[in-house]
Amino acid sequence: MTWEVVIGLETHAQLSTASKIFSSASTAFGAAPNTQASAVDIALPGVLPVLNRGAVERAVRFGLAVGATINRKSVFARKNYFYPDLPKGYQISQYEIPVVQGGSIAIVSPTRSEIRIALTRAHLEEDAGKSLHERIASPGTAGHEMTGIDLNRAGMPLLEIVSEPDLRSAAEAIAYAKTLHALVRWIGICDGNMQEGSFRFDANVSVRRQGEAKLGTRCEIKNLNSFRFLQQAIDFEVRRQTELIEDGGTVVQETRLYDPDRAETRSMRSKEDAQDYRYFPDPDLPPLSIDEAWIERIRAGMPELPEAMRTRLVREYALPAPEAAMLVSQREMASYFERLVAAGVEPRLAGNWLLGEVSAALNKSEIDIADAPVSSASLAGMLKRIVDGTISGKLAKQVFEAMWAGEGDADAIIAARGLRQISDAGAIEKIVADVLAANAAIVAEYKAGKDKAYQSLVGKAMAASRGKANPIEVNAALKKMLG
Amino acid sequence: MSPPMITAPLTELSQALAAKRLSSVELVEGLLARIDRGNGRLNAFLTIDRERALDAARSADVQRSRGTAGPLTGIPIAHKDVLMTEGLKTTCGSRMLEKFIAPYSAFVVEQLASGGMVLMGKTNMDEFAMGSSNENSFFGPVTNPWNADYVAGGSSGGSAAAVAARLVPAATGTDTGGSIRQPAALSGVCGIKPTYGVCSRYGLVAFASSLDTPGVFGQTAADCAMLLTAMAGHDARDSTSLDRPGEDYARDIDAAVTSKPLAGLRIGLPREYAGEGTDAAVARAIETALAEFRRLGAVTVDISLPNVHLSVPVYYVIASAEASSNLSRFDGVRYGHRAASYSDLDDMYCKTRAEGFGAEVKRRILVGTYVLSHGYYDAYYLKAQQVRRLIADDFRRAYDDCDLIVGPTSPTAAFRLGEKSDDPVKMYLNDIFTIAGNLTGAPAMSIPCGFDERGLPIGLQIQGDHFAEARILNAAHRFQQVTDWHRRVPPEFAA
C-alpha cells in the first residue's frame, strides 16, 4: 500500500518590532520574568490595546513578498479562553478578515523540483505569556511544585502564516519551512531566532491512499520550534497514522504535542473537547484600515526578493538552480556573492567558494556571514590569484585560512609564506627529473602498466615542490620525460 | 454680600472662588461635613478621601492667591467607583475588587484633576455598572435622596444621589445603557452622556466596550457643560477615542439671550415613545415641559423611529457579549479576589468567580457567553449588530427632520427598593428610552422636569445627533432659565 502524506503548516513568526503589538513594553529577549509586562500586558482593569503600526507594516511587507492580497480593512477579534498565562482571558487575533490573504511561496522540492505552495492567509495576533512549572523553595525548605507566570512574552507581536495543505512529504515541509524562514529574515520582519521561539510551527498532518481525492483526517502537532523537531514529528506522525489505518483503525482529529525526548507525538486534546473560543470583533480596536499610499510606501522599500534573485542568478550567471537557492537562503550571503561578482570574480568560482570554504568556515566559527572576518573585497583579491595562476586551488585554501585568522590579505600571505606557484617549465622539469631519479622502482611499475604509479609520481613531484608546483606543468613534464 | 452656599451650583461656586468670596478649604470642609452627615442615609460614597481632598483644597487656594487658578480649581468632585483613581480603592461595586487599589488614574480623572478639581471620594454603583437601581452593589444599595424607601437609579446611583443631596457639586458617571441619565432622572439632577469617543475610556473598567461612555452629573446644564469641556479630549491610549479639536460645550449657553432663545429649534417627538408603559405623571410632566420649550421658540415635529422598540433586546445581547469577555480578566490570578482554597486551576477559577461576582453580573456573563457560542453567534450577536445599524439609520433619518429628540428619560419615577429586583426583564425595561443613545453613540442628557404624586423627581431626556452636545446643553439651559425644577433640593438635605 502506498500512502500519500498531506501537510499544511501554521507558522508563528515573531515580528521584529521594538515594542509589543498592543503596548509600549519592550520585546527584548531574556529579561527577568515580568519586567517587560506593562499595565496593558498584565490586563489591569481599565487598560486598552493600541495597535503597533510597525507590526502592521511588517505584515504588509510579508503580504507583498508572497504576492498576497492586502486587505484594505481587516478586523481584530477576541479569542476567548481561560488560562493563567492569558491575562485578559482572551487573545487578540484576527479571525474572519485577516490582514494578508492568499499568496504563495516557491520551494525547491527534493522530489517534485520547483513547486509553489499556496498560502491561505497571514494574520496578526498577540502571543500569550509563559507558565513555568517548577519546584519553588524558600531557603531551608524542600519547597513544592508551583506554577509561575512570566508575562514578558504576553503581547509579543506575531504573524501567523497559514499554508494550504500543499506539502507532500516531511522533506517538502522542511523545504517550505526553510524558505519561509529565509524570507522573513530577508525582508526584515522577523529575526528568525528559533532558540528564542521567534519562529515556530504547528503542523497539520494527514495521510491518504495514493490516488485518493479526499483528504484524510488530520492531526495538528503544536509548537515545533526547530526544523529537526518538525521533521521528526511529521515522520513519527505519518508512521503512526499509516500503521493505525493499516491495522484497521481510524485517525481521530485531535491536537497533539511532540515530545523531543521520546521522539513521539502525544494526544493533547481531541476535537470533542475542543474549546469554543467565542470569537467576536474586538470592540476596543476599530477595523484596521490600510490605504493605498501606505502600501505603496512599503512596496517602495522592499528589497529584491529571494525568489526573483534566485531566478536571476540562474539566468545571468548560469549558476545551477540548487546553488542559486542556497545563495539566496540568506540576504547577506546573496549580497556577498553579488559583491564578489562585481569585483570581477567569475560567478561559478564565487559561488563555489561561498558555499564551500566560506560556509564551512562560518559554521566552524559559528558566526553569521555579516560578521565574517574576510571581506568580499579581500576574498575577491585572493580568487584573482587563483585565476592568474599565482597560487593553486589547493594553496588557496591555505591562504584563505590565514586570511580568516586575520593574517592580512592574500598577496601578503602568499609572499610571507612563499606560496607562489611554480609554473616555470625549466624549474619544474628539474623537480620532476629529481623525482624520477629517486624513484626508479615506481617508474618501473609505471612502465609495467600500473596507472597508480603515475599518480604516485605526481604526488611526489608536488610534495617536492611543497605544493607550489603548477599541477598542469608537472603533468606535462612527467608525460614528456616518461616518454 | 453674604458668603455663598456651599451647595450652590458649580458655576456659582466657580465665580465665588474666583472673587475670593469663598475658599476651597471652606468649601471642601463644609462638603465633607455634609457627606459625614448624609452618607449614612444615602450610601452614596464607598470611599471618602478626606486628607488628600483637604490637601488639594489648600493647594488650590494657594494657586488662587498666585493667580494661576482655572475656573474649576478647588471645586470638589466625586468619581464613580468604576473609574481608576491612583492610590485609591476602585471596587466597581464588586467583591471581586473589594480591596483593589488603583495603580493609575483614568483619563477623565486626570483631565478633571489637571483642571484643578478636588477629588472627594468614590461613589457607589451597581456591580461593574450592571443595573438600573444600584441594588446590585456588593456594598448595598444607594437610597433615593427624596425618599429612603426608593432606589436612586443606576448604575451610577451614588454619583446621582451625591449631587442631588448636594454632598458634592459634581460627579462623574459612566453610561452604557442609561447609567448616567436614568439615575439623574430618578434622583432629580442633570446628567449628560456625550458622544461615544469624546471622552476616553482609558481607566474606565470595561463593562461593554462599544457602549461604555464617561459623562458627568451636575445641578444645572451649565455645570455639565463646564465639566464636559474640561474632561473631553483625545487620548492615544484609547483607540476608540476621537481625534478632533476641543470644544467649549458652553458656547451656546454663553451666547447672547433673546426673548425666544430656542427660535428655529425643531424638537422631534418619536411616535414610538408614546405609551410604552409610561406613567401618567411622567407623561404630564413631559407635556408641560414641551409647552415650555415651545414658549422658548422651539417647534415640535412628529418623527418615527421604527426599529427603536428593538433597542432593549439588541442591547442585552451586545452588552452581555462584550461583558462576558471583558470580565474574563477577573480570574484571581494577578489581582482582586481569589478563593481561599481550591483543588486545581479550574476549581480556583470557578470558586473565585462564583464568590467574587454577584447574581446580575453572573447572569450577564452567562447570557453573553451563550450568544457568542458556536452555533448561536449568527442568530444573536451578529443579528443584534445588524439591528443596531438599523436603529442608527432610524436616528440618522430622524435628524433630517428635527434637531433634538425629547421625551421621558425613564417610563416611571423611582421605584421601591426590592420592587423589581426579582424580575430582570422588568428592570431592563426601565432603560427603554436611554439604550438607543448608547447603540448609536450619540449624546443625550437628562434634566429634572417635575415630580410625581409621591414627590419623586421626573427626568426629561434630550437626545441629539453625534456631536450635538452644545445644542443639547443649550436647550436644557434655556429650559432651566425659565423653570426651577433643578433648584429643588430633597427636603432631608436642604439645611
Note the pLDDT tens digit of each residue in A92-131: 999 999 999 999 999 988 888 889 999 999 999 999 999 8
A285 Cβ under 8 Å from any chain B Cβ = yes
**A286/B84 CB distance under 8 A:** no
A226 Cβ under 8 Å from any chain B Cβ = no
- pLDDT value of residue A1: 63
**B92/A280 CB distance under 8 A:** no
Distance from CA of B319 to the nearest CA of A (A): 11
A408 and A381 in contact (C-beta within 8 Å)?
no
Taking the CA atoms of residue B195, residue B196, residue B199 and residue B203 in that order, the dihedral angle to the nearest 10 degrees is: 150
Domain co-membership, A429 together with A371? no
Give how far Cα B278 sits from Cα of B202, B286, B410, Å: 36, 11, 8
**B333/A87 CB distance under 8 A:** yes
The dihedral region occupied by B193, where left means phi > 0, alpha psi between -120 and 50, and beta the remainder, is beta
What is the phi/psi pair of residue B5, to 5°? -65, 135
C-alpha cell at B230: 474640561
Facing A278 at nearest CB: one of B205, B206, B373: B373
**A47/B334 CB distance under 8 A:** no
The residue with cell 477595523 is: A287
The CA-based diameter of chain A, rounded to the nearest angstrom, is 96
Query: Is A136 in a helix, a strand, or coil?
Result: strand
Task: Tell me which amino acid residue B346 is.
Answer: D
A45 Cβ under 8 Å from any chain B Cβ = yes
Contacts of B369 in chain A (CB under 8 A): 278
Facing B84 at nearest CB: one of A46, A278, A280: A46
Domain co-membership, A402 together with A448? no
A215 Cβ under 8 Å from any chain B Cβ = no
Write the pLDDT tens digit of every residue in A42-85. Answer: 999 999 999 999 999 999 999 999 999 999 999 999 999 999 99
C-alpha cell at B419: 420592587
A461 and A480 in contact (C-beta within 8 Å)?
no
Taking the CA atoms of residue B195, residue B200, residue B205 and residue B210 in that order, the dihedral angle to the nearest 10 degrees is: 40
Distance from CA of B233 to the nearest CA of A (A): 16
The residue with cell 456573563 is: B365
Give how far Cα B87 sits from Cα of A397, B47, B95, B123, Å: 70, 12, 18, 16
Q: Quickly count: other Cβ atoms within 10 Å of residue B477's Cβ.
A: 22
Contacts of B208 in chain A (CB under 8 A): 283
Contacts of B237 in chain A (CB under 8 A): 47-48, 50
Give how far Cα A95 sits from Cα of A79, A99, A121, B319, B404, Å: 9, 10, 10, 21, 39
The CA-based diameter of chain B, rounded to the nearest angstrom, is 74
- pLDDT value of residue B2: 47
Distance from CA of B329 to the nearest CA of A (A): 4
Domain co-membership, A187 together with A55? yes
Q: Supply the CATH number for residue A450's domain.
A: 1.10.10
Q: Which residues pair with A134 in a beta bridge?
A: A146
A46 Cβ under 8 Å from any chain B Cβ = yes
**Cα R_g (chain A), whole angstroms:** 30
Domain co-membership, A410 together with A443? no
Asked whether residue A9 is domain-assigned, the answer is yes
Domain co-membership, A207 together with A80? yes
Give how far Cα B9 sits from Cα of B31, B70, B150, B166, Å: 13, 17, 25, 9
Q: Quickly count: other Cβ atoms within 10 Å of residue B119's Cβ.
A: 20
Domain co-membership, A81 together with A208? yes
Asked whether residue A122 is domain-assigned, the answer is yes
Q: Where are the domains of chain B?
A: 10-263+469-493
Helix axes A292-300, A53-65, angle to 10 degrees: 70
**A46/B106 CB distance under 8 A:** yes
A15 and A190 in contact (C-beta within 8 Å)?
yes
Q: What chain A residue is nearest to B321 in terms of C-alpha separation? A: A280
DSSP, res A218: P
Domain co-membership, A172 together with A110? yes
Distance from CA of B239 to the nearest CA of A (A): 6
A68 and A103 in contact (C-beta within 8 Å)?
yes
A408 Cβ under 8 Å from any chain B Cβ = no
**B239/A50 CB distance under 8 A:** yes
Q: Which of B218, B284, B204, B292 is nearest to B250 (CA)?
A: B218
A132 Cβ under 8 Å from any chain B Cβ = no
Q: Which residues pair with A280 in a beta bridge?
A: A78
| Residue A447 CA neighbour count, 13 Å, CB half | 10
Return per-residue pLDDT of chain B as tens, 495 residues. Answer: 445 589 999 999 999 999 999 999 999 999 999 999 999 999 999 999 999 999 999 999 999 999 999 999 999 999 999 999 999 999 999 999 999 999 999 999 999 999 999 999 999 999 999 999 999 999 999 999 999 999 999 999 999 999 999 999 999 999 999 999 999 999 999 999 999 999 999 999 999 999 999 999 999 999 999 999 999 999 999 999 999 999 999 999 988 778 899 999 999 999 988 766 889 999 999 999 999 999 999 999 999 999 999 999 999 999 999 999 999 999 999 999 999 999 999 999 999 999 999 999 999 999 999 999 999 999 999 999 999 999 999 999 999 999 999 999 999 999 999 998 888 888 888 889 999 999 999 999 999 999 999 999 999 999 999 999 999 999 999 999 999 999 999 999 997
In degrees, rounded to 5, the angle at the alpha carbon of residue B335 between the alpha carbons of residues B329 and B338 is: 90
Distance from CA of B378 to the nearest CA of A (A): 11
The dihedral region occupied by A366, where left means phi > 0, alpha psi between -120 and 50, and beta the remainder, is left
Domain co-membership, A268 together with A323? no
Give the residue from A48, A90, A91 with the most B CB atoms within 10 Å of its CB, the best one to mutate: A48
**B329/A80 CB distance under 8 A:** no
Burial A287-322 (b: 16+ CB within 10 A, else e): ebebeeebbeebeeeeeebbbebbbebeeebebeee
Task: Tell me which amino acid residue A15 is.
Answer: L
A44 Cβ under 8 Å from any chain B Cβ = yes
Q: What chain B residue is nearest to A80 in terms of C-alpha separation? A: B325
Write the pLDDT tens digit of every residue in A193-239. Answer: 999 999 999 999 999 999 999 999 999 999 999 999 999 999 999 99
Facing B321 at nearest CB: one of A89, A280, A284: A280
Distance from CA of A22 to the nearest CA of B (A): 10
Residue A192 CA to residue A178 CA, distance in Å, equals 10
Asked whether residue A140 is domain-assigned, the answer is no
Contacts of A149 in chain B (CB under 8 A): 333-334
> pLDDT-derived band of residue A274, with 50, 70 and 90 as boundaries?
confident
A274, A298, A322: which is the final residue of a domain? A298
Asked whether residue A369 is domain-assigned, the answer is yes
A276, A298, A320: which is the final residue of a domain? A298
Q: How many structural domains compose chain A?
A: 3
Residue B339 CA to residue B323 CA, distance in Å, equals 22
Domain co-membership, A454 together with A471? yes
**Domain of A458?**
425-482
B399 and B443 in contact (C-beta within 8 Å)?
no
Contacts of A80 in chain B (CB under 8 A): 324-325, 328, 372
What is the phi/psi pair of residue A139, to 5°? -50, 135
A146 Cβ under 8 Å from any chain B Cβ = no
**How long is chain A?**
483
Q: What chain A residue is nearest to B332 in terms of C-alpha separation? A: A84
Residue A143 has pLDDT above 80, yes or no: no
| Residue A320 CA neighbour count, 13 Å, CB half | 8
**B329/A49 CB distance under 8 A:** no
Contacts of B90 in chain A (CB under 8 A): 45
**B372/A84 CB distance under 8 A:** no
Asked whether residue A139 is domain-assigned, the answer is no
C-alpha cell at B249: 460645550
Write the pLDDT tens digit of every residue in A387-444. Answer: 888 888 888 998 999 999 999 999 999 888 888 888 788 888 888 888 888 888 888 8
**B202/A87 CB distance under 8 A:** no
- pLDDT value of residue A345: 95
Q: Measured on CA atoms in the order B13, B15, B19, B21, is the torsion positive or negative?
A: negative
- pLDDT value of residue B276: 62
Q: Which of A454, A398, A437 is nearest to A421 (CA)?
A: A398
Asked whether residue A438 is domain-assigned, the answer is yes
Domain co-membership, A25 together with A174? yes
**B239/A39 CB distance under 8 A:** no
Q: What chain B residue is nearest to A43 in terms of C-alpha separation? A: B329
B259 and B225 in contact (C-beta within 8 Å)?
no
Domain co-membership, A322 together with A458? no
**Cα R_g (chain B), whole angstroms:** 21
Asked whether residue A65 is domain-assigned, the answer is yes
**B236/A50 CB distance under 8 A:** yes
Count of pairs with CB atoms under 8 A, one residue in A, one in B: 94
Residue A380 CA to residue A441 CA, distance in Å, equals 44
Contacts of B240 in chain A (CB under 8 A): 283-284, 286
**B334/A48 CB distance under 8 A:** no
Q: How would you write chain B as a 3-class SS string?
A: CCCCCCCCCHHHHHHHHHCCCCCHHHHHHHHHHHHHHHHHHHCCEEEECHHHHHHHHHHHHHHHHHCCCCCCCCCEEEEECCECCCCCECCCCCHHHCCCECCCCCHHHHHHHHCCCEEEEEECCCHHHCCCCCCCCCCCCCEECCEEEEECCCCCHHHHHHHHCCCCCEEEEEECCCCCHHHHHHHCCEEEECCCCCECCCCECCCCCCCCEEEEEECCHHHHHHHHHHHCECCCCCCCCCCCCCCCCCCCCCCCCCCCCCCCCEEEEEHHHCCCCCCHHHHHHHHHHHHHHHHCCCEEEEECCCCHHHHHHHHHHHHHHHHHHHHHHCCCCCCCCCCCCCCCHHHHHHHHHHHHCCHHHHHHHHHHHHHHCCCCCHHHHHHHHHHHHHHHHHHHHHHHHCCEEEEECCCCCCCECCCCCCCHHHHHHHHCCCHHHHHHCCCEEEEEEEECCCCCEEEEEEEECCCCHHHHHHHHHHHHHCCCHHHCCCHHHCC
A149 Cβ under 8 Å from any chain B Cβ = yes
Facing B210 at nearest CB: one of A45, A48, A283: A283
Residue A223's H or E segment, with its range, is: strand A219-224
Tell me which residues of B are annotated as active site. Answer: 80, 155, 179
Domain co-membership, A271 together with A377? no
Distance from CA of A38 to the nearest CA of B (A): 12
Residue A180 CA to residue A121 CA, distance in Å, equals 14
Task: Say what the pTM is.
Answer: 0.91
A283, A298, A313: which is the final residue of a domain? A298
B346, with CB counted inside 10 A (0-12, 13-18, 19+), is: exposed
Domain B10-263+469-493, CATH number (from 3.40.47.10, 3.90.1300.10, 3.40.50.300, 3.40.50.720): 3.90.1300.10
Query: Is A313 in a helix, a strand, or coil?
Result: helix
Q: Measured on CA atoms in the order B277, B280, B281, B285, is the torsion positive or negative?
A: positive
Contacts of B83 in chain A (CB under 8 A): 46
Give the residue from A53, A280, A285 with the most B CB atoms within 10 Å of its CB, the best one to mutate: A280
Q: Quickly count: other Cβ atoms within 10 Å of residue B371's Cβ.
A: 23
B15, with CB counted inside 10 A (0-12, 13-18, 19+), is: middle
Residue B168 CA to residue B44 CA, distance in Å, equals 11
Write the pLDDT tens digit of every residue in A453-474. Answer: 888 888 888 888 888 888 888 8
Residue A117 CA to residue A140 CA, distance in Å, equals 58
